[in-house]
């Protein structure tokens, strides 16, 4: 029965890590966009090409 609790904790940790990664990734590209002088791009793919 305790293995269900451990599995749930591991699952919850995975969700939190994934969400944190997504939030930090968005903040990183927003900072890059501002450092480049806020160029007119339609998405991150175009920003990576600059």
DSSP secondary structure, 4-47, as one string: HHHHHHHHHHHHHHHHHHHHHHHHHHHHHHHHTT----SSHHHH
Torsion angle of the four alpha carbons 5, 6, 7, 12, in this order, in degrees rounded to the nearest 10:
90
Query: What pLDDT does 14 receive?
Result: 94
Q: Give 13 or 36, the one with higher predicted confidence.
A: 13
Query: What pLDDT does 45 receive?
Result: 79
What are 16-47's pLDDT values in tens digits? 999 888 888 888 888 888 888 888 887 777 77
The band of 15, judged by pLDDT with boundaries at 50, 70 and 90, is very high
Query: What pLDDT does 35 receive?
Result: 86
Give Rg (Cα) of the chain: 18
């Amino acid at each position: 029965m305790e293995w269900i609790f451990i599995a749930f904790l591991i699952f919850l940790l995975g969700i939190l890590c994934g969400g944190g990664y997504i939030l930090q990734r968005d903040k990183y590209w927003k900072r890059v966009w501002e450092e480049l002088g806020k160029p007119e791009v339609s998405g991150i793919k175009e920003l990576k090409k600059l």
